[in-house]
Structure 1
Amino acid sequence: MNIDSIKNGIVLDHITAGKAMEVYESLELAKLDCSVAMIMNVKSNKMGRKDILKIDDDFEVNLDVLGYIDPNISVCIIKDGKVSEKKKLTLPKQIKNIHKCKNPRCITSIEQELDHIFYLADEETQTYRCIYCETKKG
């Protein structure tokens, strides 16, 4: 298998095996007008197996979305064929419009224009709760 290196763009590395498609869809990478390589189930000494996404374009990555999906992802910014910056992620304290509240009595079900906002209630279990009704995201 041969995947070309990228001159300017972003490499998302150390994605938990099987989560690359979720990252692809959440970042809406299909809307980009550039090459995107998805490599899945790559052997990794550190993780056993991992996924990698290579994006041949420099665009604004939503770090909160990535941190929510998988806080272990490494974000490498590539400039002139070399890593110019490497970002480590953490669980975001709050996520906005990534998921919808499933509680039918939540105000977001009635007031359609309201943002769906969840806060990190428990970092250890990665539990998020709706700011309006306290329903656990699930």
Structure 2
Amino acid sequence: MIIGSIVNGVVIDHIPAGRGMELYRYLNLEELQCEVALIKNAFSEKHGKKDILKVNEVIDLNFDILGYIAPQITVNIIKDGVRVQKIHPQLPNTITGVIKCKNPRCIVSTEQGLKHVFKLTDRENRIYRCIYCDTKAEPQSFL
């Protein structure tokens, strides 16, 4: 299989195998008019298998989403066929609009228009809690 090289764009590498499409959706890449390639289950010496997203345009990315969903990823910015920047997103201290509070009594469940906001309370175990009701986020409770 041959996937073309990128002249100007973004390569999101080291995505855990099977999670590339999830990142594709959360980053709203379907709205782009440029070429986007998702490579699933590519060989990785470190992880065995990985997913890769290639976007043939330099775009703004939500590093909070990237850091929360897959903090081990690498984002490479390509310009004129050369990598000019390599970014390792970190776990964000707060995250908005990615995790949904599961507490039916939480104010975000009853008040329309309030955004779901979670704060990082335990970096080592990647635990986030709702800022309104302190409910612990479920690991896969993405919006």
TM-score (norm 2): 0.94
User: Which runs of 5 or more structure 2 residues have no equivalent in the other structure?
Assistant: 139-143
Query: Is residue 37 of structure 1 aligned with residue 37 of structure 2?
Result: yes
1:50-81 per-position Cα deviation (integer Å, ceiling 9, x unaligned): 11000011110110100000001100000001
Residues 66-77 of structure 1 correspond to what in structure 2 (within 5 A)? 66-77=66-77
Aligned to 2:87: 87
Aligned to 1:48: 48
TM-score (norm 1): 0.97
Aligned to 2:141: none
Q: Measure the CA separation in 2 of the matches of 1:42 and 1:113.
A: 40
Structure 1 segments of 4+ aligned residues over 3 angstroms from their partners: none
Q: Which moved more, 1:109-118 or 1:63-72?
A: 109-118
Aligned to 2:20: 20
AA partner of residue 56 (structure 2): D
> Aligned-residue CA RMSD in angstroms?
0.8
1:91-113 per-position Cα deviation (integer Å, ceiling 9, x unaligned): 11110011221111001112111
Count of residue pairs the alignment pairs up? 138
User: Which runs of 5 or more structure 1 residues have no equivalent in the other structure?
Assistant: none
AA partner of residue 37 (structure 1): A
Identity of aligned residues (%): 54
Q: Measure the CA separation in 2 of the matches of 1:103 and 1:113.
A: 17
